[in-house]
Amino acid sequence: MKLGIVISTDDAETVWNAFRLGNFSRKEGTETKVFLIGKGVEYVKASSEKFNCIAEAGKFLAGGGSILACGTCIKTRHQEGTNLCPISSMKDLYEIMALLQL
């Protein structure tokens, strides 16, 4: 089974829960990829003590999950890619969504 999660918000609670779902799915043995788009590429800045998105994302990566981020969205915000927000493309988002249809 495969799971694609698209995050398009910088709301800390929403992002935190999305990564929690990703972590659960990895524990179930599901291939899981997270794609960040729009405000989603800013989730690291929104992380808080209560909703520690950075910690959940770190667990997700350590558990074998994959994070990809819209390069245009990152560049528009004058950010650079990182391991928690790596530069990717719409082609990658397309492939994640297309693979889910199989």
What is the secondary structure of 8-68 as a DSSP string? ----HHHHHHHHHHHHHHHHTT-EEEEEE-GGGGGHHHH--SSS-HHHHHHHHHHTT-EEE
- pLDDT for residue 13 is more than 90: yes
Instruction: Return d(Cα 28, Cα 96) in angstroms, integer.
Output: 19
Q: What is the set of domains in the chain, with CATH numbers? A: 2-100 (3.40.1260.10)
Instruction: Return d(Cα 86, Cα 35) in angstroms, integer.
Output: 10
Span 28-87, pLDDT tens digits? 999 999 999 999 999 999 999 999 999 999 999 999 999 999 999 999 999 988 888 889
Q: What's this model's pTM, rounded to 2 decimal places?
A: 0.92
Query: What confidence score (pLDDT) does residue 84 get?
Result: 86
